[in-house]
Amino acid sequence: MKSNTIITIIIALGFCMVSCSKKETDNTQPKVTEMTHEMKIDRGKYIVNTAACDDCHTPKIMTPQGPELDMSKRLSGHPAELKVAEIADKSILKDFALTNADLTAWIGPWGTSFAANLTPDDTGMGNWTLEQFTRAIREGKYKGLEGSRPLLPPMPWQVYKNFTDQDLECIFAYLQSLPPISNLVPAPVPPAAH
């Protein structure tokens, strides 16, 4: 009888310890709540505003203080009608990267690259899926398509690939909420054409 009582007490203490430790663990875990679509858009807006997306993807207006963002063309990429100046000494391109005054076109050893239109227009990301956007950022693939060319400099996808899945979903939701701007960005120019 004594051994049965001792065994019962040991089992009861074991259940108590498991139960108590489970409660402590549950209390220390952050509560994950489902984000509404509006919450995703707000979070995405915050990330886009702090991750310097406008630096390359928003055309500029030249002022006496230098280039300022043209918010009427926000995130619409390199303006299709804006031509890039010819480089007289092409040998400089093996050691340097150059940009236009608008900061939407870049020339370097990879050729000439143009900032993409990130708005939800058909000339931008209008027909993209979240899966494509995620692949573009995680793997550096053009339009997020498997087997496509790599994203070109200066797109820092190697840094942005570290965003969480939820952050990428929020960024995509925000970009899809923008007003669509029709702007067919030129195709990149390979280095041999310089």
pLDDT in tens, 117-145: 999 999 999 999 999 999 999 999 999 99
Among candidate residues 194, 185, 130, the one with its CA nearest the CA of residue 155:
185
**pLDDT (0 to 100) of residue 148:** 96
Does the pLDDT at position 18 exceed 50?
A: no
pLDDT (tens digit per residue) in 61-95: 999 999 999 999 999 999 999 999 888 888 888 88
Q: Print burial letters for 83-96: b (CB count within 10 Å at least 16), e (below 16).
A: ebeeeeeeeebeee
**pLDDT (0 to 100) of residue 25:** 42
CA pair distance 158, 1, nearest whole angstrom: 68
The confidence band for 111, taking pLDDT boundaries of 50, 70 and 90, is very high
The confidence band for 167, taking pLDDT boundaries of 50, 70 and 90, is very high
Peptide bond into 154 cis (omega under 30): yes
Rounded to two decimals, the pTM is: 0.80
The confidence band for 3, taking pLDDT boundaries of 50, 70 and 90, is low
